Amino acid sequence: MKKRFFKIIACEIAVREISFVAAQSPHLVDLEFLTQGLHDIPCTGGAEIQRRIDAVPAGKYDAILLGYGLCGNLLRGLRPSHAPLVIPRAHDCITLLLGSKERYVERQAARVGSYYYSSGWLECRQRRGDETPPANEAFQPMRADAPQIDEAARREMAQKYGEDGATYLLEMMGEWTKHYTHGALIEFDFTRALRLGEQVLDICKRRGWEYEEVRGDLGLLQRWVDGKWDERDFLVVQPEQQIAPCHDERIFKAEAVSHPGNPIAST
């Protein structure tokens, strides 16, 4: 096997898991993790990821691996400038940690009302230097409740939905915990020493939720960093193409970048 050189640009939510599989890859891997929460404002979050893609030196890497899922259409319109982009066909970070989009769908159907936790989900607030839990005990790392949303996000919502619409959405965001009945920790053997279960169990007790432990599966991430990109589980986006969401089992598709006078073609 020819040793290749990959650049990974990923969400910090999977920093431990991606670092673990990268350490076992036969290829060379450079890692870059971005702050969790870019999908909260997809237009600016996507622009930040595109900026990081464009900053990758031409000719250095064989491919750029994006460690994101659909995530509120965060990746819509992103495109490579030279090296191809490789994306797991994932709904969100939970798919990455469960090992497949099929298992994600099965879990969602079998256990409605489950809120998933992982090492990154529990640690990302501390990673940013904020160890103080929010006063309203919201357990999403960023902007889960109306009092925590930043002014830029609120302005964008008001511009898109109007002031009344934005107020309504913020109120609904503050009610997010009422839709959940279970707290599910995605656990791996190498994270057991962190005793994450104790943290999630405490959260569940305070919320009145049932606690559940779900065994994680790193197979999808391992194949991603190993360069085993079958079409069923990965999308490879070539230069002159861009990422587009699709409403079927593929999750993503590649579209030709439109130019004046040329229609957009997709694959």
Provide the pLDDT for residue 234. Answer: 98
Cβ partners under 8 Å of residue 223, min gap 6:
229, 230, 233, 234
Report d(CA 54, CA 58) in Å as an integer. 9
Q: Is the dihedral of CA 260, 267, 58, 96 positive or negative?
A: positive
Partners of 183 in beta bridges: 115, 211
Count of Cβ atoms closer than 10 Å to residue 193 Cβ: 7
Residues 195-236: pLDDT tens digits?
999 999 999 999 899 999 999 999 999 999 999 999 999 999
pTM (two decimals): 0.80
Q: Are 81 and 53 in contact (CB under 8 A)?
A: yes
Averaged over 114-132, what is the pLDDT? Answer: 81
Residues 61-96: pLDDT tens digits?
999 999 998 887 889 999 998 999 999 999 999 999
Q: pLDDT higher for 60 or 154?
A: 60
Query: Which residue from 43, 59, 45 is spatially nearest to 7, judged by alpha carbons?
Result: 59
Residues 145-195: pLDDT tens digits?
333 455 666 676 677 667 776 666 665 555 555 678 999 999 999 999 999
Averaged over 114-135, what is the pLDDT? Answer: 76
Provide the pLDDT for residue 258. Answer: 73
Provide the pLDDT for residue 44. Answer: 84
